Amino acid sequence: MGIIVANWKMNGNPDFADNFIEEINAADSENTVVVCPPAPLLGRFRNFRYDVGAQNCFCEEKGAFTGENSPRLLREIGCKYVIVGHSERRSIFHETDDLIFKKHLAVVAENMIPIVCIGENAENRDNREKVISDQLSFFLNNPGSTDKTPCFAYEPVWGIGTGLIPSPEEIETIFAFIRNLLGDKVSLLYGGSVNAKNSSEILSRKNVDGLLIGGASLKADEFKKIIEEKSF
């Protein structure tokens, strides 16, 4: 069974959330299912039968950080997971590996599970191992920082929202590389253009423990199909 994470990004509204919750509450999934809506919608998920996560947080518990979300507060309102360092946070909001590592520590300190995103952009596709090692350098230089079994999501930036997916062999090579760096305790998710047609094949690949899903998680019927898949 896998960990299936929905990343709604900056989409949805209260009615959309209510309908989604009703539809997904009727799904029978043996997977770990996590939905990460925009933060203002988290409160609508009180009666959700699966897990809820945030798309981002700050690295401090509280204070003069206007507009930021506290990891403690996210935990207190029911989040179990927080996505950290999504490629859109890295590229649009200039998040650095250093900041992402601090966010990971802040999430772990609240006993939530960080989903740390890594992955190369199109220009670096041939240089992927170097990019991934650099993005993970703070984790690799701080042995013990992954002891609380976080999730890492490999998402090739060129595969996000494009319909492009690495070949099955490419996925196995990349995931073997990441597994070798991070060890057996962490969960490794694949993200980028996952849908109901390709989810089960991707999740069957060695070292892939779950999926991070953007666009297809906004269609409740398609997301339901993915989480109800039993052949993972």
Q: Which residues here bind ligand PGA, judged by CB under 6 A?
A: 7, 155, 160-161, 191-194, 212-216
Residue 86 known to be catalytic: yes
Residue 155 known to be catalytic: yes
Task: Tell the smallest beta-carbon distance from residue 115 to ligand PGA (Å).
Answer: 9
Task: Tell the smallest beta-carbon distance from residue 155 to ligand PGA (Å).
Answer: 6
Give the residue with the Cβ less far from ligand PGA, 108 or 216.
216
Give the residue with the Cβ less far from ligand PGA, 61 or 201.
201
Q: Which of 86, 88, 110, 120 is catalytic?
A: 86
Q: Which of 68, 155, 170, 172 is catalytic?
A: 155
* Nearest residue to the partner ligand PGA, using Cβ: 214
Give the residue with the Cβ less far from ligand PGA, 9 or 148.
9
Structure tokens at 28: 């029978």
For residue 197, give Cα distances in angstroms to 157, 194, 216: 20, 8, 10
Cα separation, 100 vs 198, whole angstroms: 29
Task: Tell the smallest beta-carbon distance from residue 19 to ligand PGA (Å).
Answer: 20
For the chain, the farthest-separated pair of C-alpha atoms sits apart, in whole angstroms, at 48
For residue 151, give Cα distances in angstroms to 58, 66, 92, 114: 18, 28, 23, 6
Give the residue with the Cβ less far from ligand PGA, 50 or 190.
190
Instruction: Return all residues near 117 (Cβ < 8 A) that are at least 6 apart.
Output: 83, 84, 85, 86, 87, 89, 90, 152, 153, 155, 191, 212
Task: Tell the smallest beta-carbon distance from residue 63 to ligand PGA (Å).
Answer: 29
Q: Which residues are catalytic?
A: 86, 155
